[in-house]
Amino acid sequence: MSLPLQALCASAGAPVYEIGSRCLPWDHQAALVLEFARSREVDVSELLADCQLQAGSLLSPQQLLALLAALQRALPSPDTPFVLGQLSLPGPTGLASQALAQAGSLYEALQTLVNYAARLSPLLTPRWFQHGDELIVLWTAACGVGAAQRSFVVDMQMSALTGVCQWLGGERLPWRYCFNRTRPRDISQQAVYLGHSLQFDCHVDAMRLPASHLHRPWRQAAAAHPGNFAALSLERGADVGARGRGLLAAIYDHLLPRYREAPGLDEVAEAFGLSSATLKRRLALHGTHYQAELDLVRTHVALYLLLLQGCSNDAVAAELGFHDRNNFRRSFKRWTGLAPSLVG
């Protein structure tokens, strides 16, 4: 019944970035948004003025979100997140993008994406693990995304991973998609850009694929790139920021191995070297609070045990440290809006 913790969490000690930290290089995601706007005939200076940004230097996740919101206002076309996503990976510059572009298999690509998510997917942190003959990519917030933009960012990142695998691997992989939202009226964009296996109301944003695809060598990998030098230099610490974790992702990393004990705010604050008041304030800045983050982790564990391990309610209740089944049922209902027996 053990969780694939090693695969799901980054090792401790990764640098933490917050929603206001100016840590994103201008020439990746932001430059792409402007390029996209320009090619769709949106006035770029208008766009920058709308979100009060100036081109150049570093920007924060918050500023990137504001830029995306401004783009959505200027160009409310339903394909925007999907097209942007497709073009965002492997990305134009930087060691992480180079390492991803030279990935020789899906396994290498996923490892690169997950390890250097601060560069490749700074708004939504990907995590992946293998369960039996299936691999599962789980997307969790890096620094928090407002409810209004959550779907946009999830669509964008799912389209990015789908697209980069198809581009590098030379074939479309049979991904299955799970969305943590109700089914929208029109899913034509998801069906064409992502795939036809779409599931809504899932309580997690995840992508699933038969694990047999993991180690298949990709077409371009063979002769062209004898060694992935970008990956090597990243491993040697050439770009420390690439290993960064968003504050919420770092808290998730910290809480997941401790899902049973469910530590309190004070303990977590101490582990992060902060006072509990400071952590509380910072979480509020990220649009959340401590209990919500803890509940999220415990929901994910419960869903993993219920759906993937096929555990009984009693077993899950015991594993999560509930004294009896009814307490667990009540908590689970509060987390997901559903009774545990109805999930699946």
Partner 1 sequence: MQEMKQVSLYVGRLRLPVLPQAPVLGLGHFGQGLAVLMVSLMCLFAWLAAPKAVEHWRWMDIAGEGGMALMAGVWLVQVRSSRPAGRVTSLLCLGLASVLLGQWVDLLDEFWVLPKAVIWDNWLESTLVPLGTLLLTWGLHHWRHEQQSLTAQMLKRERLFREHRSLDGVTQLGDARYLAAQIAIEQRLHQPAALAMLGLDGFDAVARTQGLAESDRLLQAASHLLLLNLRPDDLLCRYAADRFCVLMPGLQAGEAQARAEHLRQALSMLAHHTRAGTPLQLPARSAVAAVDAREAPDAQLLALARRLAEAP
Residue 121 binds partner 1 (CB under 8 A): no
> Which range in 34-42, 109-117, 119-127, 234-242 contacts partner 1 by CB under 8 A?
34-42
Closest CB to partner 1 among 79 and 295? 79
Calculate the alpha carbon distances from 133 to 50, 169, 340 in Å: 47, 20, 25
Read off φ and ψ for residue 52, nearest 5 degrees: 50, 55
Instruction: Determine whether 307 is exposed, middle or buried from the number of CB atoms within 10 Å of its CB (0-12, 13-18, 19+).
Output: middle
Closest CB to partner 1 among 74 and 311? 74
> Which range in 14-22, 45-53, 135-143, 328-336 contacts partner 1 by CB under 8 A?
45-53
Least CB distance to partner 1 at residue 321 (A): 43
Least CB distance to partner 1 at residue 78 (A): 7
Q: Which amino acid type is present at position 176? A: R
Give the alpha-carbon dihedral of 55, 61, 64, 69, to 10 degrees: -150
Candidates 13, 185, 273, 323; binder of partner 1 (CB under 8 A) is 185
Candidates 140, 189, 331, 336; binder of partner 1 (CB under 8 A) is 189
Residue 29 binds partner 1 (CB under 8 A): no
Binding string, residues 155-184; x marks residues near partner 1 by CB under 8 A: --------x--xx-----------------
Least CB distance to partner 1 at residue 258 (A): 42
> Which range in 31-39, 135-143, 271-279, 329-337 contacts partner 1 by CB under 8 A?
31-39
User: Which two structure tokens, joined as six digits, stand for 267?
Assistant: 């303990």
Residue 196 binds partner 1 (CB under 8 A): yes
Closest CB to partner 1 among 133 and 186? 186
Residue 32 CB partners (closer than 8 Å, separation 6+): 84, 87, 88, 91, 92
Number of residues that bind partner 1 (CB under 8 A): 29
Residue 93 binds partner 1 (CB under 8 A): no
User: Which two structure tokens, joined as six digits, stand for 290?
Assistant: 């401590």
Residue 66 binds partner 1 (CB under 8 A): no
Residue 270 binds partner 1 (CB under 8 A): no
Distance of CA 341 to the CA centre of its chain: 27
Least CB distance to partner 1 at residue 192 (A): 4
Candidates 1, 12, 27, 43; binder of partner 1 (CB under 8 A) is 43
Q: Which amino acid type is present at position 344? A: G
Residue 191 binds partner 1 (CB under 8 A): yes
User: Which two structure tokens, joined as six digits, stand for 39?
Assistant: 């090619």
Closest CB to partner 1 among 77 and 341? 77
Candidates 27, 58, 78, 199; binder of partner 1 (CB under 8 A) is 78
Closest CB to partner 1 among 43 and 314? 43
Gap between the Cα atoms of 29 and 53, Å rounded? 14
Residue 146 binds partner 1 (CB under 8 A): no
Closest CB to partner 1 among 87 and 265? 87
Q: Which residues bind partner 1 (CB under 8 A)?
A: 35-36, 39-40, 43, 46, 49-50, 75, 77-79, 82-83, 86-87, 163, 166-167, 185-189, 191-193, 195-196
